[in-house]
Structure 1
Amino acid sequence: MHRPMPPLRALVAFEASVRHASFKQAADELHITPGAVSQQVQKLEQWLGYPLFLRQVRQLQVTDRGMKYFSRIAPALEQISAASEASRKRSSDSVCLSLSQTLAAKWLGPRLGDFVSRYPAIEVHINASNTRVDFQREAVDLAIRHFDGKDPALDAHLIFDDEVRLLCSPSYRDSFELECADQLSGVTLIVASPYPYWDDWLTRFTTIDAPARKQITTMHFDQTLLAIDAAKRGQGVVLSNGLLVQEELVRGELVEPFSYRLPLDKSYYLVYPRHPPLSDTACILKNWLLEQSSNVNMDGII
């Protein structure tokens, strides 16, 4: 039985455009022109029958339906990428790094050009997946993992000490006149499945009891990237950390209405198997990642 399939090249162009919020940056990643990316996205819009982006001067904004579609296709594209990567034989001049999709887009992506310019002969493969990598079965050299740093089979280097911060858009803060944490009973809480710390945060910094919490409006996302985007759009308050919202804080798209921060017993670690030893190429990427992490201050802003 024939199953109608969307244009696959258009799916790739759309997914990259959402991650970068830019046709130009998506084009750079895919090694095609911005015009070609735009044409591919238009093909997908025609196939779906609705717009995926609001095209404005110097700004590309994904529509609500486009973001919902992205959240459904991105995991499938990740699986295809991971399966293909594990099946291909990489040369000694290649290295594969696994990390979450949000961390790849928000922290690694803006910095990766520096590595490529320094080491043009090294072929870098990024496995952007929220699934925990299996070093025994997957062709992955290094990974950035959010955990307590304890695993006898792995060498672990601290990248970033994590702490939970509450964030929202300036307009959302002003519209609700947020001045104290107990006012959160009247807002919308944006819940990201990979960052499930709302109960801990509310317990520590508010007097809102359990029955009252159940009455608070909530919005759920299975990816932190989507939750952050919703907060930028003024749809509620979100929990994240400085590492994942560096650009939004610098541009003033997100602010902290309160100064409370919740330390976690998990942090970001660069990990790799103790045996066998890393290749020379993997060591180069490891040292570069540690150098990049050393430039992050306590607020997660370079």
Structure 2
Amino acid sequence: MRFRSFDSLNIFRTVAERMSFTAAGDALNMSKGAVSYQIAKLEDELGVRLFERRHTHIRLTAEGTRLKDAAARHLSHIETVMDEIRSTVEEPLCVGAHSWFIARWLGPRLSDFTRANPDISLKVEPINTRADLQNRALDLSIFWCDPSAEDMDVEVLFKSNTRPLASPETAARVEALGLENAVREIPLLPDASGMAAWRDWHDIAGLTFAPRKNALSLPDANSRLQAVIAGNGLGMQDAFAEPEIESGHLVWISDLALTNFAYCISLPTKGNISAAAELFRDWIRAQDF
């Protein structure tokens, strides 16, 4: 008769190694009762007792000892083969990028890269904060920053001229208040730099950075843009917001733009860049921005 209780066999091996239903349950994230049920099920299928149950402990029977040795030997071999199989499967190329950049530029062009490199499996992870850059799975990252202020090696991909915008209704308030008063009275929405971009913009505008209202914090730039459209405050965006400008959903409220921010390439500190990451870097360097 074909043996079918492989889950029970693995549970048996764990119990036999620890000689405790409770300890095996902890190791397998199962209750003691569930472990006991699986062992009883295995014993019923084999028609023999595998353990002698004592009041304070359990002990393997002769049949249990035979099965423990066989299970340890063969299940260990199966696990080794499975690890070998996994190691032959190449991990996908993992690229991190700001969700704004993914939605506005990268996403629509990824098919060009995948068509040119059909053997590379590509995974794109959104980056919205500096903490996201610490993801050890990333082979390469593209993020928006002031490269002169970074404490890591970055390569400027292209400059991002960034300036403040608002919904038409909020822009009317800006005009009524005057720009200097408006950036104090109307909430300034922080971006991936926190408030650094707003502070830099105040400097080039010759204004004192002194916002009076707490602002809504939305790390994802796409959500932040919708918040600006809804009238929740003023945002700092680059030319990727032009579709909303052209449609009339948003208005630039100043011609003064930050020129110190850029989209940059950052390589991981975990070791050498992979061949797939090199291909992606070469591909994106060759694009027209």
TM-score normalised per structure 1 = 0.53
- Structure 2 equivalent of residue 242 of structure 1: 239
2:253 equivalent to 1:254: no
> Are the aligned partners of 2:173 and 2:182 in contact in 1 as well (CA < 8 Å)?
no
Question: Could you tell me how far apart the structure 2 residues matched to 1:240 and 1:104 are?
Answer: 15
Q: 1:289 to 1:151 in 2, by over 3 A?
A: same
- Structure 2 equivalent of residue 157 of structure 1: 155
TM-superposed CA distance for 1:272, in Å, is: 1.8
TM-superposed CA distance for 1:176, in Å, is: 4.8
Q: 1:201 to 1:90 in 2, by over 3 A?
A: farther
TM-superposed CA distance for 1:253, in Å, is: 2.8
Equivalent position SS for 1:96: strand
Q: 1:280 to 1:236 in 2, by over 3 A?
A: same
Q: 1:95 to 1:246 in 2, by over 3 A?
A: farther
Question: Could you tell me how far apart the structure 1 residues matched to 2:182 and 2:88 are?
Answer: 50
TM-superposed CA distance for 1:92, in Å, is: 4.0
Identity, % of aligned positions: 21
Amino acid across the alignment from 1:228 = L
Structure with bigger gyration radius: 2
Pick aligned residue for 1:278 from 262, 267, 273: 273
Per-residue CA shift, 1:233-260, capped at 9, x if unaligned?
Answer: 23332122224x2543454432212201
> Residues 1-302 of structure 1: matches in 2 within 5 Å?
91-92=89-90, 94-129=92-127, 130=129, 131-134=131-134, 138-145=136-143, 146-148=145-147, 154=153, 156-174=154-172, 176-177=174-175, 180-185=178-183, 188-195=186-193, 196=195, 197-205=197-205, 207=207, 210=210, 213-214=211-212, 217-223=213-219, 224-243=221-240, 245-264=241-260, 266-273=261-268, 276-292=271-287, 295-296=288-289
> Are the aligned partners of 2:95 and 2:124 in contact in 1 as well (CA < 8 Å)?
yes
Equivalent position SS for 1:258: coil
- Structure 2 equivalent of residue 66 of structure 1: none
Gaps of 5+ in 2: 1-85
Amino acid across the alignment from 2:147 = D
Question: Could you tell me how far apart the structure 1 residues matched to 2:202 and 2:152 are?
Answer: 36
Per-residue CA shift, 1:218-243, capped at 9, x if unaligned?
Answer: 42214133322111223332122224
> Are the aligned partners of 1:93 and 1:281 in contact in 2 as well (CA < 8 Å)?
no
Question: Could you tell me how far apart the structure 2 residues matched to 1:167 and 1:119 are?
Answer: 39
Question: Could you tell me how far apart the structure 2 residues matched to 1:209 and 1:274 are?
Answer: 35
TM-superposed CA distance for 1:288, in Å, is: 1.9
Equivalent position SS for 2:96: strand
Amino acid across the alignment from 1:267 = A
> Are the aligned partners of 2:165 and 2:235 in contact in 1 as well (CA < 8 Å)?
yes
Q: 1:149 to 1:269 in 2, by over 3 A?
A: farther
Equivalent position SS for 2:188: strand
TM-superposed CA distance for 1:164, in Å, is: 3.2
Question: Could you tell me how far apart the structure 2 residues matched to 1:262 and 1:182 are?
Answer: 17
Q: Which has the higher strand share?
A: 1
Question: Could you tell me how far apart the structure 2 residues matched to 1:179 and 1:90 are?
Answer: 64
> Are the aligned partners of 1:141 and 1:282 in contact in 2 as well (CA < 8 Å)?
yes
> Are the aligned partners of 1:182 and 1:206 in contact in 2 as well (CA < 8 Å)?
no
Amino acid across the alignment from 1:260 = L
Q: 1:254 to 1:125 in 2, by over 3 A?
A: same
Question: Could you tell me how far apart the structure 2 residues matched to 1:267 and 1:118 are?
Answer: 27
How many residue pairs are counted as aligned between the two chains? 198
Question: Could you tell me how far apart the structure 1 residues matched to 2:162 and 2:147 are?
Answer: 15
> Are the aligned partners of 2:99 and 2:126 in contact in 1 as well (CA < 8 Å)?
yes
> Are the aligned partners of 1:153 and 1:273 in contact in 2 as well (CA < 8 Å)?
no
